[in-house]
Amino acid sequence: MPKTYTHSSTVYFDELDGLGVLHHTRYLLHLERAQQKFFETLLGVPDFNAERDEDIYVVVHSVEARFRQPLRTPGEIVVEYTIERIRSSGVTMRFAIRNPADSQIYCDGTRTVCKLSAQTHQPTTWTAAFREAMEKY
């Protein structure tokens, strides 16, 4: 059974829209922040540095999101990632954004990223070490 990476993120008041709920675009920001920390964990590095760690140089290929419940108050949320499928230059991960107190799901779905070469900006394969780290996770 694959492991789930969990990241705490803070929702701020200014992220709520005119109806008093977290605007749908803000979920993507929290997914991005969690993915950065997940990749840092897989690489065993303390920070985000695409020049040093070529496997961090990725673009989003696709996102499928289902909004289950509105998030109405600022505060902590939990973003969970589980690797679903690894390809030569891409990875698809399931995600869930939850309330940490009662595990209520606000949003879930899948997110696929593609690794690019920093020189050509074309898809390129993961390093052997990073692919192995993903496969073990």
CATH code, domain with 113: 3.10.129.10
Binning pLDDT at 50, 70 and 90, where does residue 95 land?
very high
Q: Do 76 and 100 meet the contact criterion of CB atoms below 8 Å apart?
A: yes
Q: Do 11 and 25 meet the contact criterion of CB atoms below 8 Å apart?
A: no
Selection from 23, 133, 137, 38 nearest residue 80 by Cα? 38
Number of domains in the chain: 1
- Average model confidence (pLDDT) across the chain: 96
Binning pLDDT at 50, 70 and 90, where does residue 51 land?
confident
Predicted TM-score (pTM) of the model is 0.92
* 3-state class percentages of the chain: helix first, strand second, coil last, to nearest 5: 25, 40, 35
Please report, for residues 71, 76, 111, 119, 129, the alpha-carbon distance to residue 135 in angstroms, rounded to integers and kept in the order given.
33, 29, 17, 26, 10
Give residue 66's pLDDT: 98
Beta strand residue intervals within 68-102, DSSP E: 75-86, 90-98
CB atoms inside a 10 Å sphere around CB 92:
16
Please report, for residues 19, 69, 124, the alpha-carbon distance to residue 132 in angstroms, rounded to integers and kept in the order given.
44, 36, 16
Q: Find the domain containing 87 and state its range.
A: 5-136
Give residue 1's pLDDT: 63
Binning pLDDT at 50, 70 and 90, where does residue 2 land?
confident
Give residue 77's pLDDT: 98
Q: Of residues 50 and 42, which shows the higher confidence score?
A: 42
